[in-house]
Amino acid sequence: MYTIREGKKEDLPKVLELVRELAVYEKAPDEVINTVEMMEKDGFGLHPVFGFFVAVKTETQEIIGTSIYYYRYSTWKGKRLYLEDLIVTETERGNGAGKLLFDRTLAKTLEEGCSGMSWQVLDWNTPAINFYQKYGADLDGEWVNCNLQENQIKELLQMQ
């Protein structure tokens, strides 16, 4: 029903469409500032900073899902794979594409010699939490996410 493969540059418009769909689902549609051009540079430029897999519906060859990842370094654990987003378009959820994407990303973790994989899930996203719990994932509610946006950083650094 689905094929999982490495993402290609020509997949980026559909992948960004999936990212925007996720942003709507997560009640943050205005937060996406990424563009296909940025993703091209960041994923296929001189120094790629992310990779991705796509789920392709076999009968239509349509991309219906993606797993976007990058590497991070933990001073406690060493090299880790970070799953930024696991997205399956709404009409295809519950049909196994998410499991295939997740499993392929887990395999990539081992292929790259990582000590494990990390990701985040919103505390209200019960379907995703249930999905990850089936894998026996540790859901750590102790850590607080911290972020500064580019405009905030510029403002802060100009103040010094």
Which residues does the annotation mark as catalytic? Answer: 132
What is the DSSP track for 25-61? HTT-GGG----HHHHHHHHHSSS---EEEEEEETTT-
Secondary structure class of 82 (helix, strand, coil): strand
pTM above 0.85, yes or no: yes
| pLDDT per position as a tens digit, 7-46 | 999 999 999 999 999 999 999 999 999 999 999 999 999 9
Q: Which residues of the chain have pLDDT under 70?
A: 160
CATH number at residue 86: 3.40.630.30
Q: Number of folded domains in the chain?
A: 1
- Domain carrying residue 122: 2-159
